[in-house]
Structure 1
């Protein structure tokens, strides 16, 4: 099995498209301001946005995007006006993470985990 895509809700798809393009995703589908799909700059995954009349309540969605040169990438995004809730921080689970939100409040974690993403020291045998 391979993960094809993740889709997040948005009240204003056009506003979200601009945001995710700023993050570096490449827009490949845009239909009538109700749906958009991106391809990630690395790997084979896609990411999409669909229009909703109301956002889900509660914890919502958390999206993780891995970036090898995380600190530099965050600095580039800050220079483009992207605001962060947490700047790159070493976490106890051996990932370095920066936290932000998209225009609809979906949580985004930009991170670098290296080999610890799939092979942490506590991995099940």
Structure 2
């Protein structure tokens, strides 16, 4: 089994579209103002955004994007006007992370974990 698609809600699909294009995702389906789909540049996964009338309750969505040049990516995105909540910083679970939010408040973590993402020292076999 392979996870290949995530869909997130948005009150303003147009604003979200520009945000994710700035994160260097490639727009592959444009059905604005109701729906868009992006392709990730380094894998086969896709991310879709669909229009909702009300946001979901609670802080329930976190999207992770991995990049082995995390610090450079964060610096480049800051130069393009993207605001970060924190990071990049090393975590006790052996990941390096930077946190931000998209225009709808969905939590995004840009990170680099390398082999520790799937094979941390405490992995259960």
Fold shared, TM-score > 0.5 on shorter chain = yes
Shift of 1:32: 3.4
Please list every run of 5 or more consecutive structure 1 residues that lacks an aligned counterpart in the other structure: none
Aligned-CA RMSD value:
0.6
Aligned to 2:117: 117
Q: Which runs of 5+ in 2 are unaligned?
A: none
- CA gap 1:78/1:32 in 2 versus in 1, 3 angstroms: closer
In the alignment, which residue of structure 1 is the partner of 2:16?
16
Structure 1 length-normalised TM: 0.98
Structure 2 length as normaliser, TM-score? Answer: 0.98
Tell me the residue number matched to 1:104: 104
1:29 aligns with 2:29: yes
Q: How many residues align?
A: 125
Tell me, in whole angstroms, the C-alpha distance in 2 between the residues paired with 1:117 and 1:87. 18
Is contact 2:13–2:32 with CA below 8 Å preserved after alignment?
A: no
Compute the displacement of 1:4 (Å): 1.8
Aligned to 1:92: 92
